[in-house]
Structure 1
């Protein structure tokens, strides 16, 4: 049994018009199916507007699809009773792109990381403080940092805080929605390495949503590509992506620039 299974999901956003009528848009997702096994990272690629983040919201239980089903640990995510849904929320976490809007600016790092612990664990104040200090150490920060506010961290450091919060309950699956795309190249590399280490340490599974092929390839076990709300390519062996004949995949691949500037083609953007 797969940890996560998405079956034929179709989702459409509606816009409200005058006189309380709603205009039906073209589907954002159309018959999307994929699965993620325990301990695996699925890289989900696509350009802006391809439907990647919407699929992430559907998987997180934030946007109920018009058609299709989402099974997490064998249970239908949208047919669960409240008790089961609460249990799922513990095992299904997320790290978003914008590290600053993902936190309350009035809360310290200790309070931010401690939120899920207070919701799900029954720890004494001293036990919780020790656990938060350990989580900070795991993401490469110091225990002294727990007293700081978001404004006192760099973007890369604050994203580490968000990751520490996401792993606090030792979840089964973390949705990483463009979680490194707003960082500079140095911080991207560091955060990707951190995610790999945490995956190995906790046996985590990831859905790594991104438009960056290099980032996806470096961390993912399998790759999938979305275009206009449809899943157009799935590669159990991620190296298969480079032999794809689909035009949208070729366009993504052509966006990868050579490491050395003199080998870059300005006219085509290809290696």
Structure 2
């Protein structure tokens, strides 16, 4: 059984404004279908306005589709009960592009990474500290970073903190929404290499949303092209075809 199945997902937006102009072409998604297996990575490649953010929000449960179904581990996400949705929120995590905006600047790194643990698990202070230290080590940081605040860290370090938080509950799926697009190529490779290692260690699957062809080619097992709201999944990808 596939981990995630999107079947004919469609989401359109109503026109707004004084003259109710037609929604610009490329907004929303139309009849999107794909499958994602456990422990694999599907890259969603598309330009700005292609519908990448809409698709990401649908998978995260933030934007119900107008039609179609999204099935996660055999359960229809948008027709599930409260207990299923709670488990879904635990099993699907996200890493956003803007690492700084994704965290509270007043919180310490320990508080940021421990936030999902506090929401879903009961750990003593000692257990929490040990768990956070282990998570930071997994993403290439150290226990001495726990007392730092976001402004004391570089963009690459902050993104690793975001990744540590995302993997804290050992999710089945992480949505990577342009996670390295604002970084230089050296830092990009370091982050992607850490994500690859995590995939091997904990078996997490990724939905890697990006406009960066080279990053998607390097990281994803399969590639899907999103263009003006429609999706084409390719088992092999040549950027020049």
For residues 212 and 230 of structure 2, what CA distance do their matches in structure 1 show? Answer: 18
Aligned pairs for 1:91-102 (under 5 A) are: 91-102=91-102
Structure 1: gaps of 5 or more residues: 243-248, 254-271
* Partner residue, 2:74: 74
Aligned pairs for 1:208-247 (under 5 A) are: 208-231=208-231, 233-236=232-235, 240-242=236-238
Give the structure, 1 or 2, with the largest relative contact order (CA under 8 Å, sep 6 or more). 2
Contact 1:13 1:24 in 2 (8 A): no
* Partner residue, 1:125: 125
How many residues are matched? 239
For residues 15 and 118 of structure 2, what CA distance do their matches in structure 1 show? Answer: 37
* Partner residue, 1:202: 202
TM-score relative to the length of structure 2: 0.95
For residues 147 and 12 of structure 2, what CA distance do their matches in structure 1 show? Answer: 43
TM-score relative to the length of structure 1: 0.85
Larger radius of gyration, structure 1 or 2? 1
* Partner residue, 1:45: 45
Displacement after TM superposition at 1:163 (Å)? 0.1
Displacement after TM superposition at 1:22 (Å)? 7.3
* Partner residue, 1:135: 135
For residues 144 and 126 of structure 1, what CA distance do their matches in structure 2 show? Answer: 15
Displacement after TM superposition at 1:81 (Å)? 1.1
For residues 182-231 of structure 1, give each alpha carbon's deviation from its aligned partner in whole angstroms, at most 9, with x where no partner exists: 11111101001000000000011000111111111111111110100001
* Partner residue, 1:260: none
Displacement after TM superposition at 1:74 (Å)? 0.7
For residues 43 and 210 of structure 2, what CA distance do their matches in structure 1 show? Answer: 7
Structure 2: gaps of 5 or more residues: none
Contact 1:14 1:23 in 2 (8 A): no
For residues 22 and 39 of structure 1, what CA distance do their matches in structure 2 show? Answer: 44
